[in-house]
């Protein structure tokens, strides 16, 4: 497994020791090719669906009507991301299939190791898993957070189409469940010196594209008191968003992760600013409250500078509870291996939250050094990666016994 993990980490490798594999980039496409050819060389079946999700399949029973237990994660990354986010779960899933293939014997379900399309949201976010769950809608595609043109171009280049994505939907009756191994991306396990996290729930999130429209102008000749400067409104908005999150929504988070000014030059007052806003909470009502508070504050920031404010919804996930029986099965598997366990929630989004709407879903976390993620410094000790893979395998065995 380590050899495979290292091979995969070399695809799209960045100088800081991470990987950059945004959805459908050359590096992402190469990583996906690597996955399918590795599955084939292991003697597993392979399959690509209408949403571009890629699977390795192990049929453990003669019946073609057996349900399938899916194990997976994603091979795409954020720009300039780390090597573990998503990739560890895919490689471990593949190796669980290889282990069962080598051991032989029947299970009460078939096994599928799946690499979901666009988990990170370069284009949409949870695109492949929502398509499988049947929760992808034309409206979600219309408001794609990476922009509509990028979505259309990316799908075309991957040989996919917007219309056909919906055909990836699976019949819930065909599924025995979904399990995902992932790095924690936070520091709770490390701080408490715990080896395995059993995830009970995943955070909800909403994202918005904010457009601030002011007036451009000459930076030397437009008097300071006659400006409608979109950059200044953006600065006000960024500070207001942080203040609201900290003051009124402790435990929740709000981020403006990208700012683009137009036209963007030393000597031109910015006439336009585009902001990428995202906020997250474990509670659905709190998400509603955050939405009105945060968007209200941004409008106020614009008005204070004489700027027009547009807000465009650009994606959302509901806070999601994971299946208690899956949690119990993972806990039994980890205990049997003598590993220490903590139940926790996830502040990061995951494909499991899309799958949870159609099949019992569970997640296993392993510690992240320093809690660092979405950064090239992302690191999980190799022993912890192995522990996580063994717990994934053990959870499959627990479910098979049930």
Name the residues that contact ligand GLV, by CB under 6 A: 120, 348-349
Least distance (Å) from Mn ion to the CB of residue 29?
Answer: 18
Nearer to ligand GLV, 85 or 305 (CB): 85
Residue 99: contacted member of Mn ion, ligand GLV, none (CB under 5 to 8 Å, by partner type)? none
In DSSP terms, 201 is beta-bridged to: 321, 345
Residue 49: contacted member of Mn ion, ligand GLV, none (CB under 5 to 8 Å, by partner type)? none
Least distance (Å) from ligand GLV to the CB of residue 307?
Answer: 28
Per CB under 5 A, residues contacting Mn ion are 85-86
Nearer to ligand GLV, 73 or 359 (CB): 73
Residue 323: contacted member of ligand GLV, Mn ion, none (CB under 5 to 8 Å, by partner type)? none
Residue 302: contacted member of ligand GLV, Mn ion, none (CB under 5 to 8 Å, by partner type)? none
Least distance (Å) from ligand GLV to the CB of residue 93?
Answer: 17
Residue 305: contacted member of Mn ion, ligand GLV, none (CB under 5 to 8 Å, by partner type)? none
Least distance (Å) from ligand GLV to the CB of residue 200?
Answer: 17
Residue 12: contacted member of Mn ion, ligand GLV, none (CB under 5 to 8 Å, by partner type)? none
Least distance (Å) from Mn ion to the CB of residue 138?
Answer: 26
Q: Which residues contact 121 (CB under 8 A, 6 or more apart)?
A: 145, 146, 207, 315, 349
Nearer to ligand GLV, 140 or 212 (CB): 140
- In the block, tokens 């939907």 appear at 169
Instruction: Please state, as a whole number, how many other Cβ atoms lie within 10 Å of the Cβ of residue 69.
Output: 25
Least distance (Å) from ligand GLV to the CB of residue 120?
Answer: 5
CA gap 106, 104 in Å, rounded: 7
CA gap 339, 257 in Å, rounded: 37
Nearer to Mn ion, 39 or 78 (CB): 78
Q: Does residue 322 come out as left (phi exceeding 0), alpha (psi in the -120 to 50 range) or beta?
A: beta
Least distance (Å) from ligand GLV to the CB of residue 289?
Answer: 21
Nearer to Mn ion, 85 or 112 (CB): 85
Residue 349: contacted member of ligand GLV, Mn ion, none (CB under 5 to 8 Å, by partner type)? ligand GLV
Nearer to ligand GLV, 120 or 398 (CB): 120
Residue 398: contacted member of Mn ion, ligand GLV, none (CB under 5 to 8 Å, by partner type)? none
Nearer to ligand GLV, 145 or 170 (CB): 145
Residue 337: contacted member of ligand GLV, Mn ion, none (CB under 5 to 8 Å, by partner type)? none
Nearer to ligand GLV, 68 or 322 (CB): 322
Least distance (Å) from ligand GLV to the CB of residue 202?
Answer: 9
Least distance (Å) from ligand GLV to the CB of residue 142?
Answer: 21
Nearer to ligand GLV, 209 or 233 (CB): 209
């Amino acid at each position: 497994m380590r050899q495979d993990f290292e091979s995969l980490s070399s695809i799209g490798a960045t100088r800081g020791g991470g990987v950059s594999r945004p959805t459908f980039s050359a590096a992402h496409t190469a990583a996906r090719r690597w996955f399918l050819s590795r599955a084939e060389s292991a003697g597993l079946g392979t399959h690509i669906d209408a949403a571009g999700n890629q699977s390795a399949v192990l049929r453990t029973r003669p019946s073609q009507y057996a349900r399938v237990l899916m194990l997976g994660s994603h091979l795409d990354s954020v720009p300039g991301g780390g090597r573990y986010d998503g990739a560890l779960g895919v490689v471990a899933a593949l190796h669980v299939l290889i282990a069962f293939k080598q051991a032989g014997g029947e299970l009460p379900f078939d096994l599928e190791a799946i690499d979901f399309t666009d988990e990170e949201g370069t284009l949409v976010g949870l695109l492949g898993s929502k398509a499988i769950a049947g929760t992808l809608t034309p409206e979600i595609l219309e408001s794609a957070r990476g922009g509509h043109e990028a979505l259309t171009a990316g799908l075309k280049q991957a040989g996919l189409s917007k219309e056909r994505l919906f055909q990836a939907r699976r019949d819930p009756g065909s599924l025995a469940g979904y399990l995902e191994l992932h790095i924690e991306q936070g520091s709770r396990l490390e701080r408490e010196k715990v080896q395995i996290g059993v995830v009970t729930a995943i955070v909800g999130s909403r994202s918005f594209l904010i457009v601030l429209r002011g007036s451009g102008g000459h930076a030397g000749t437009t008097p300071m008191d006659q400006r409608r400067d979109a950059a200044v409104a953006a600065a006000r908005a960024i500070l207001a968003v942080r203040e609201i999150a900290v003051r009124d929504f402790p435990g929740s988070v709000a981020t403006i992760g990208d700012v683009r000014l137009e036209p963007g030059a030393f000597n031109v007052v910015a006439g336009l600013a585009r902001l990428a806003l995202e906020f997250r909470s474990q509670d659905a009502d709190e998400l509603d409250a955050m939405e009105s508070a945060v968007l209200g504050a941004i409008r106020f920031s614009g008005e204070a500078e004489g700027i027009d404010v547009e807000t465009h919804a650009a994606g959302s996930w509901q806070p999601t509870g994971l299946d208690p029986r899956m949690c119990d099965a993972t806990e039994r598997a980890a205990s049997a291996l003598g590993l220490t366990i903590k139940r926790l929630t996830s502040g990061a989004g995951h494909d499991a939250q899309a799958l949870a709407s159609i099949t019992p879903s569970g997640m296993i976390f392993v510690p992240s050094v320093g809690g660092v993620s979405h950064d090239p410094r992302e690191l999980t000790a190799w022993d912890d990666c192995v522990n996580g893979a063994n717990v994934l395998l053990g959870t499959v065995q627990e479910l098979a016994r049930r």
